[in-house]
Structure 1
Amino acid sequence: MLGLPAGGRVLDLGCGKGGNAVHLASLGMRAVGVDVSHVQLRAAGQRWGEVPGLELHHTEAVAYLQGAGEPFDAAYSVYGAVWFTDPHLLLPVIRERLRPGGRFVFSQRPPVEGCYGCQASYIPRGSDEDPLVVKRWDYEPEVWEQLLDRYGYTDVRTQVRAAPPGRRTVGTLIVQAST
């Protein structure tokens, strides 16, 4: 889905513990992972810190993308920052940082029928702590297509893949686009 050239530069938006980014780095890509969670990035650094071709950054996605730097061949988010960042802020800066012909791919849960736009999401923490409340953006596939088109992406495709039998009850929304 990413269409990366050999040795391509790729951005993982919401990399968590870094598993996807390190896999790409192990294939010879220059992988950059960005996440707001200090705990997740500390775990990623401890496990993968010495992997050649891997960079990890503790920062918010829009702030990272607004910084100067080399463009990316592709950007992706697996249930990550694209889900938890205002698309009107994030989509334009991703587009600006992708090379011509670059790919943008993300996945998240499909929206609950009738619950579209910005939603509250509760992330459980320790047994003695209240859940962390964060915003997430849930849209129908057609709305994601319209948003990406509005911000200059081309070849936009969306699909909802069904959950594997017996594993989960909700499928996965996958969105792909080019610059």
Structure 2
Amino acid sequence: MTARTDLWHHYGRGRAERDHAVDDAFRWVWSQDGGPGAELLGDLTGRNVADLGAGAARHAAHLAVHHEPARVTAIDASPAQHAFADRMFGHLAPRLRLARADAVAHLSAAPGSYDVLYSVFGAVDFTDPRRLLPAAAVALRPGGRLVFATLAQHVGGAPARPAVLATDIPARTPEGEATTLRRWVLQGPVWTAALAEAGFTAVTVEVRPARHGGPRDAGTLLVTARRPG
């Protein structure tokens, strides 16, 4: 397996092939069937927004259609996910911009470009926070907001980590071979400390318990923070 292997090649493929509709709601929680909506992001009218680890860009498309931002940039490094997004929502340009890029590299190259950054079980989960959070702080304008949904515990019930440590989780190569990728499933106070170290203030962490209790269900941490300014 090479460093460029697309471990998201299979993710969401079935839905992406049959459902090209723009979602009518913005959903944060792991089960994607409840909880708060886009109001957590604040008033997006005329704002520059980015989705970190956007996948097929369903959340970003919803914001572009329903919330009148200046532009939403859907950032994802996966060639397959970028292709899905382009096929389904490319027609929403220029309000929706699809960026095939590593989130840290994109943010680091765009200082002061965004009013709001968000992640829904996206790049925040799958990138070392010691790299991603400082890059997010750089890319936000003074007073800008970072909002993300991440796992409150591992899928299957194991507790979140009490330190900034990754967990190897199952994945598949495009050829279907079993492998792993790294996911950061951290306790709320660990996220709070990591955000403070990256320069964020006004950090809030809310726990949304698992809704159904099945073996694949998990609770959600909803985290908000601001860049001072």
User: Could you state the TM-score of these two structures normalised by the residue count of structure 1?
Assistant: 0.91
After superposition, residues 132-171 of structure 1 pair within 5 angstroms as 132-165=179-212, 169-171=217-219
Unpaired stretches in structure 1, ≥5 consecutive residues: none
Corresponding residue for residue 12 of structure 1: 51
Partner of 1:83: helix, strand, or coil? helix
Asked whether 1:76 is paired with 2:118, we answer: yes
RMSD: 1.9
8 Å CA contact retained: 2:160, 2:186: no
The CA deviation string for residues 57-113 of structure 1, in whole angstroms up to 9 with x for no partner, is 111111111214661110001010011101111101100111111110111211332
The CA deviation string for residues 42-63 of structure 1, in whole angstroms up to 9 with x for no partner, is 1110111010400011111111
Q: How far 1:125 sits from its partner (Å)?
A: 5.4
Partner of 1:65: helix, strand, or coil? helix
Asked whether 1:129 is paired with 2:169, we answer: no
Identical-residue share of aligned pairs (%) = 37
Asked whether 1:23 is paired with 2:23, we answer: no
Q: Which runs of 4+ in 1 moved over 6 A?
A: none
8 Å CA contact retained: 2:209, 2:220: yes
The CA distance in 1 between the partners of 2:138 and 2:160, in whole Å, is: 32
After superposition, residues 97-116 of structure 1 pair within 5 angstroms as 97-111=139-153, 112-113=158-159, 115-116=161-162
Partner of 1:165: helix, strand, or coil? coil
Comparing 109-118 with 69-78, greater Cα deviation is found at: 109-118
Partner of 1:24: helix, strand, or coil? helix
Unpaired stretches in structure 2, ≥5 consecutive residues: 1-39
The CA distance in 1 between the partners of 2:201 and 2:224, in whole Å, is: 9
